[in-house]
Amino acid sequence: MIPEDIHWNRTAPPPPTCEKLGGNHKSDVVIIGAGLTGLRTAISLAEAGVDTAVLDAEKIGFGSSGRSGGQCNPIWRATPAQLHKKFGSQQAERLISTTLSCADDLFDDIRRYEIDCGAEQNGWIQAAHTCKAADGLKELYASWLDVGARISVQTTSQTHASVGSDAYNFSLHHEKGGFVQPLALTRGFAWAAQKAGARLYEQTPAGKADRKGQKWCITTSHGSITADTVILTTNAYTDDLWPGLRQTMLPMYSISLATAPLSPDQQAQVLPGRRTISDTRLAIFYARYDAGNRLIFGCVGSNDSARTLGGVGRLLSGMHTVFPALKDIDIECTWAGRIGVTQDMMPRMHAPAPGVLAGVGFSGRGIAMTSVMGRSLARKVLGGHNDDLPFPVSEISPIPFHALSRRLVPLMAPSMSMKDRASVAWDRLMPSTSKEDS
Ligand SMILES: Cc1cc2nc3c(=O)[nH]c(=O)nc-3n(C[C@H](O)[C@H](O)[C@H](O)COP(=O)(O)OP(=O)(O)OC[C@H]3O[C@@H](n4cnc5c(N)ncnc54)[C@H](O)[C@@H]3O)c2cc1C
């Protein structure tokens, strides 16, 4: 049987030493959640001289950040026009301009903090699984090109060559995309935050926040910490530490596998430019290389194990569909993680009480956007005005029927996968111009 094990644990450099929080402490800011968002926030605050503590219930990178596909996919599913309609012109303009620079900003950070995380910025292929999906990508292309995104259309033959199979007939190439080893990046941020003066505590679950005069007191398993400001960066692993926050996202699941290293011949065929790929399926397929030339392939899962409800079978058949050249390759491991999905698939920055902020809901596009969120949370603490931030500061607004939807989540992956198979079969029956090489 294929072992269930997070591949990134095997290849990430070690984290800094962190203790459990014991006794009663004080800080200016306490951040709850030591993933990419919390740690990037901590770097900016500590560099600005703010006394900052970060707590995680588990280990640094325990959540999505240490399980991620690590693909930097630097635009939204929404078009700029949709963002304008949703947020209003000025807010949308700030969000769009931050979006256009987010990938370069991430790779700049990696160089600035000298983080050894196998970062490569070779581009991202966004591939259409049907002709209808190709029409959607064409609209996305035209609208994002118009605002300055570095994006191009790949014809059928270019798509076949860059993917390394004829699984897709149309794709976009996003020049700014790339990949990182996500746990190594998270640990690199932890080192940088600690070097800047932040205090990091692991195995320290935070309980509810209590107001004590002008301050907040967070009780933990072995002590407490009192701070002027509390920042919640717990994303899809959010428990009941702040009323309603957990209900703003559905915890969807993503599952991944790591193959054995590909031979030079296989590498010359499969994603030969070492770009990342993700497609337009509901149960999205995504893939990338790691630094050891293994292919990491992922899709949607059902819970915290990749094995549930046919997950491993779905991973294998997905990989064989997209990359038939890999049908006999060995699989080293599979794993699962949670994705915090909001109703409109856009992240949320909340300020639910004086001195409390939250940044959550990256909806599967967190690798670069968690850094944007981290810098924004820090800017807000440092006195930044809401009108200068890329994300609107909104009320906590639970998803209607959250408890029921949550119970249905495990069934979503198999049902989305069935719908995808039906739409691909239908597409084969219906000829379309998107299949032409023009
Ligand atoms: C399998 C998978 C593949 C993905 N692939 C991609 C991808 O290719 N590209 C992309 O852009 N995004 C991807 N994502 C999404 C991306 O990884 C996330 O958006 C991002 O890592 C979120 O980081 P975070 O810091 O906000 O949250 P997390 O990394 O989840 O950190 C939250 C932390 O909060 C801690 N916590 C929770 N409650 C408490 C408490 N009460 N007290 C103390 N600590 C607490 C948890 O232990 C956890 O460590 C993927 C996600 C998964 C799971």
Q: Is the CB of 102 under 6 A from ligand 1?
A: no
pLDDT band at 432 (very low <50, low <70, confident <90, very high): low
Give yes or no: residues 198 and 318 share one domain: no
The CB of 37 under 6 Å from ligand 1? The reply is: yes
Residue 146 has pLDDT above 80, yes or no: yes
Is residue 137 pLDDT above 80, yes or no? yes
Distance (Å, whole) CA 347 – CA 342: 7
> What is the predicted pLDDT for the residue at 431?
63
Specify the residue with its C-alpha closest to ligand 1, atom 52.
68
Per-residue pLDDT reduced to its tens digit, 365-422: 999 999 999 999 999 999 999 999 999 999 999 999 999 999 999 999 999 999 999 9
Tens-digit pLDDT profile for residues 181-234: 999 999 999 999 999 999 999 999 999 899 999 999 999 989 999 999 999 999
Q: Is the CB of 364 under 6 A from ligand 1?
A: yes
Give the position, in ligand 1's atom list, of the atom nearest the Cα of 278: 8
Same domain, 231 and 133: no
* Distance separating alpha carbons of residues 340 and 392, to the nearest angstrom: 18
Kindly state if the Cβ of 67 falls inside 6 Å of ligand 1: yes
**297: three-class secondary structure by DSSP:** strand
Whether residues 167 and 130 fall in one domain: yes
Q: Is 202 in the pocket of ligand 1 (CB under 6 A)?
A: no
Distance 69 CA to ligand 1 centre (A): 11
CATH code of 161's domain: 3.30.9.10
Same domain flag for 43 and 76: yes
Q: Ligand 1: which of 5, 21, 64, 257 to mutate, most ligand atoms within 8 Å of CB?
A: 64
Q: State whether the beta carbon of 362 lies less than 6 angstroms from ligand 1.
A: yes
* Distance in angstroms (rounded) separating the CA atoms of residues 179 and 211: 41
pTM of the model as a whole: 0.97
- Collapsing DSSP states into helix, strand and coil, what is residue 424? helix
CA of 254 to the centre of ligand 1 (A): 11
Q: Give me 76's structure tokens.
A: 């939204």
Tell me, in angstroms, the distance from the centre of ligand 1 to residue 362's CA: 9
- On whether both 334 and 380 belong to a single domain, the answer is no
CB atoms within 10 A of CB 267: 16
Cβ of 35 closer than 6 Å to ligand 1, yes or no, is yes
Q: Would you say the CB of residue 103 lies under 6 angstroms from ligand 1?
A: no
Verify that 219 and 292 share a domain, yes or no: no
209 lies in the same domain as 226: yes
Structural domain count of the chain: 2
Average pLDDT of the chain is: 96
Q: What is the pLDDT of residue 386?
A: 95
Cα 39 to ligand 1 centroid, rounded to whole Å: 11
Inter-CA distances, 153 with 127, 157, 285, 437, Å: 10, 11, 20, 11
pLDDT band of residue 310 (cuts 50, 70, 90) is very high
Alpha-carbon span 341 to 113, nearest angstrom: 30
240 with 258, same domain?
Answer: no
d(CA 222, CA 205): 9
Q: Which domain holds residue 27?
A: 1-120+180-247+344-399
CATH of the domain at 242: 3.50.50.60
Per the structure block, which two tokens stand in for 39?
């740690």
State how far the alpha carbon of 427 is from the alpha carbons of 231, 279, 314, 322, in Å: 47, 15, 20, 16
The verdict on the CB of residue 253 being under 6 Å from ligand 1 is: no
CA of 64 to the centre of ligand 1 (A): 3
Residues 418 and 326 placed together within one structural domain of the fold = yes
Distance 238 CA to ligand 1 centre (A): 10
- Gap from CA of 56 to ligand 1 centroid (Å): 12
Nearest CA to ligand 1 atom 11: 365
> CB neighbours of 329 closer than 8 A, spacing ≥ 6?
259, 260, 262, 266, 295
**Are 149 and 204 contained in the same domain?**
no
Residue 395 shares a structural domain with residue 281: no
Do 198 and 332 reside in the same domain of the chain? no
Is the CB of 131 within 6 Å of ligand 1? no
Q: Whose CA is nearest to atom 48 of ligand 1?
A: 63
The pLDDT value given to residue 436: 45
Mind listing the pLDDT tens digit for each residue in 59-96?
A: 999 999 999 999 999 999 999 999 999 999 999 999 99
